[in-house]
Chain A
Amino acid sequence: MTEEKHVLTMLVDNKPGVLSRVVGLFSGRGFNIDSLCVAETMDPLISRITIVTKSSLAEMEQIEKQLNKLINVIKLRTVSGPRSVQREMAIIYVMAKNGQRSEVLRIVDIFRGKVIDVGPEHFIIEVTGNDEKLNAIINLLRPMGIKKLAKTGTLALFR
């Protein structure tokens, strides 16, 4: 069966062990997690977890049902379509020797990134966007030498 990327967002009780229940469900039942974000919402009793998973539609149906079955999952939605917004942030440690520094800065500028650290032979860049945008900038910077990369994983909301 063909696997597709799905973005799940859920509100959960902000209690110890809840994240472990969610993650344990994925590992225990052989579902995969591509990325995961979790933080408190405006209501300190509730957290939001966003998970990106690659799965077939049948598997996705089980994932949703199983998550809904967890006592601490209050509300669950899959996020897709034009009414959704999705963002991810990356911090990229890219080599920038003499002769390449302006090229790097130009790329950063095009992607509305920010330089957050400068060294004689590198920049650290912060950039935010959807999947595609982050992949695009990473691909452009790759030839200069990306030494380290940290990504937050996708966050998503409906408008």
Chain B
Amino acid sequence: MKTNKEDKMLTGAQILMEILKSEGVDTIFGYPGGAVIDIYDELERTDIRHILVRHEQGAVHAADGYSRASGRVGVCLVTSGPGATNTVTGIASAYMDSIPVVILTGQVPTHLIGNDAFQEVDIVGITRSCTKHNYLVTKVEDLAEALKEAFYLARSGRPGPVLVDLPKDVIKATTAFKLPAEVNLKSYKPTYNPNLWQLQKIISLIGEAERPVIFAGGGVILSKGSNELTEFARKAVIPVTTSLMGLGSFPASDPLWLGMIGMHGTYRANMSVGDCDLLIAIGVRFDDRVTGKTDSFAKNAKIIHIDIDPTSIRKNIPVSVPVVGDCRISLEHLNRMFDEANLGDLFQKRENWLNRIKIWKDKNPLCYEQKDIIKPQYVIDTLFKLTKGDAIITTEVGQNQMWTAQYYHFDKPGHFITSGGLGCMGFGLPAAIGAQIACPDQLVVDIAGDGSIQMNIQEMATAVQYRLPIKIVILNNGYLGMVRQWQELFYCKRYSCTTMECSPDFVKLAEAYGALGLRATKPEEVISVLTEGLNSDKTVIMEFLVEKEENVYPMVPAEAPITEMLLV
């Protein structure tokens, strides 16, 4: 960069603050240390709010939750060495779910890099395969540009985490600062605008199809295309299923809603995809938890696949009509083309198909029977009713996550926040913290298992410190339930190392953190505990002692066709 006399002379730390401001960042999640002490010193002099987490993994999950709830880039700041390595799981989770997060890590001074210096790790090397891109900035002159690029890459195209490693001497050094112009990378030009010919083919295929299904995923939510998707499905009269990541992209209250697809998808969703003659996949990547055995997946269907990332297309599933483009923009075009095409009375044409789906729905609906021990499904069902489906829900991983996906029905995007691709226990609590900070006026609930909640339980202190009224629902089954379920079904009930003994008294634990702790041990107490907890303005843990060996059904055994489900 050329320097002009008018350019301000700033330190690396000051430049970082300038870039954060220019990106509209008002909150960062972090944890200080020696390598970033100069950044923290500078941070004090800005209006940027810093949320002090209790573990750096929590910082990334919180930034992730913040991003999903707000649609903005989440930011975290951690020190070198252990601070940086602690972020890796959080980064991998954000990467798998394509969440825009910028991770700023401290690094030892450049002259010590490679010396095994105190708290040195090669975090750029470590995170190369789980970031969208990463940078080691070795000169203060390169800092502004690298940071600008990091934000741009994180949020554009298929979003994802970007890490910037900041050696201490770079942060302390001074240079002339000018805000870089718009980022323009000649090797990175995401394709937002789809090929219209391909889209036109889709319209004619819809005209021909007898049994079409839309399969939407996280890409629809990330591209903010939920309204367009809903409009499209309704006017083309096409039933909709989604992946776990796509929940909320289409209203669950709509008659065309099939429920989630996949390993724990609904009977009607899996059967519909097995039987459909046209599958319109939008913003998905055909994860193995969705497809089951790939050879039998939607084997009667022509498959259309719209996604902004070309690598997602034809990676796992052959497709007839590939479309590279932004989901929202593609759907806008499809809506317009559909109107122009005039395909006649589709309601009548789809009658048989919709009836068939109705029969599947009636034959094997999602169900549970609430007897004398609390059923976990009942807790979620009741939570759904009490919150009128309006809460922002985060989850941990395991049965708790799948029951949430099945029994909390999402009508809007950005309300279901879960570690989908990585399936990372310990995600829910810090993600709830991030979501609550992004949406202070909304109800945020983490639905947790007794195992997962202990993976980042230290973030209770963060929630209480910042007076975040998040609600934690622990479905305590005394097991690493999802693994136990596999052992029950596929390993002759040998429950090897899946009993969760010696869990703390969660009510007392809540109190020890300065939160409110409540417990329900009988079905009659569920409503009152939920009501009391939800009405409190404190951080609350609500523990429900649930049926210990309850299973999640339907279940598709690994690698089986998704139409071959184990049912209750």
Contacts and interface: CB of A to CB of B under 8 A. Distances in A.
Given A74-B186, A74-B187, A69 B311 contact: yes
B136 A17 contact: yes
A68 B136 CA distance: 21
B315 interface: yes
Contacts of B311: 62, 65-66, 69
A71 B153 contact: yes
Interface string A75-88: 10000000000000
A17 B187 contact: no
20 contacts: A13-B187, A17-B125, A17-B128, A20-B128, A24-B129, A28-B129, A61-B314, A62-B314, A62-B315, A65-B310, A66-B311, A69-B309, A71-B132, A71-B133, A71-B185, A71-B188, A72-B187, A73-B187, A74-B186, A74-B187
Identify which of A16, A61, A65 gathers the most chain B CB atoms within 10 Å of its CB: A65
Interface string B403-446: 00000000000000000000000000000000000000000000
Contacts of B315: 62
A114 interface: no
B310 A24 contact: no
Contacts of B124: 17
Contacts of A13: 187
A46 to B, nearest CB: 10
Interface string A9-45: 0000100110011001100100000000000000000
Contact of A24 (B128, B133, B136, B314): B128
Contacts, number: 36
Nearest to B153: A71
Contacts of A68: 310
Given A17-B125, A69-B311, A72-B187, 11 more contacts: A13-B187, A25-B129, A62-B314, A62-B315, A65-B311, A66-B311, A68-B310, A69-B309, A71-B132, A71-B153, A74-B186
B160 to A, nearest CB: 10
Nearest to B190: A69
Contacts of B186: 74
A124 to B, nearest CB: 35
Q: Which 8 A-B pairs have the closest CB atoms?
A: A74-B187, A65-B311, A71-B133, A65-B310, A28-B129, A71-B188, A66-B311, A24-B128
Nearest to B134: A17
Contacts of A72: 187
Nearest to A71: B133
Contacts of B136: 16-17
Interface string B128-148: 110011001000000000000
A152 B230 CA distance: 56
A150 interface: no
Contacts of A21: 128
A1 interface: no
A13 B188 CA distance: 12
Contacts of A24: 128-129
A58 interface: yes
B13 to A, nearest CB: 24
Contacts of A61: 314
A116 to B, nearest CB: 36
A61 B322 CA distance: 13
A65 B125 CA distance: 22
Nearest to A72: B187
A16 B122 CA distance: 13
B105 to A, nearest CB: 15
Identify which of B125, B185, B311 gathers the most chain A CB atoms within 10 Å of its CB: B311
Identify which of B124, B185, B310 gathers the most chain A CB atoms within 10 Å of its CB: B310
Contact of A58 (B153, B309, B314): B314
Contacts of B187: 13, 71-75
Contacts of A16: 136
Contacts of A75: 187
A115 B133 CA distance: 47
Interface string B175-188: 00000000001111
A58 B314 CA distance: 8
A28 B153 CA distance: 22
A20 B124 CA distance: 11
Contacts of B133: 71
Nearest to B310: A65
B315 to A, nearest CB: 6
A25 B133 CA distance: 13
A75 B185 CA distance: 12
Contacts of B153: 71
B498 to A, nearest CB: 30
Identify which of B128, B136, B153, B186 gathers the most chain A CB atoms within 10 Å of its CB: B128
A20 B125 contact: yes
A69 B132 CA distance: 9
A65 B311 CA distance: 5
Identify which of A13, A28, A71, A75 gathers the most chain B CB atoms within 10 Å of its CB: A71
A144 B281 CA distance: 61
A66 to B, nearest CB: 5
Interface string B211-250: 0000000000000000000000000000000000000000
A33 B136 CA distance: 27
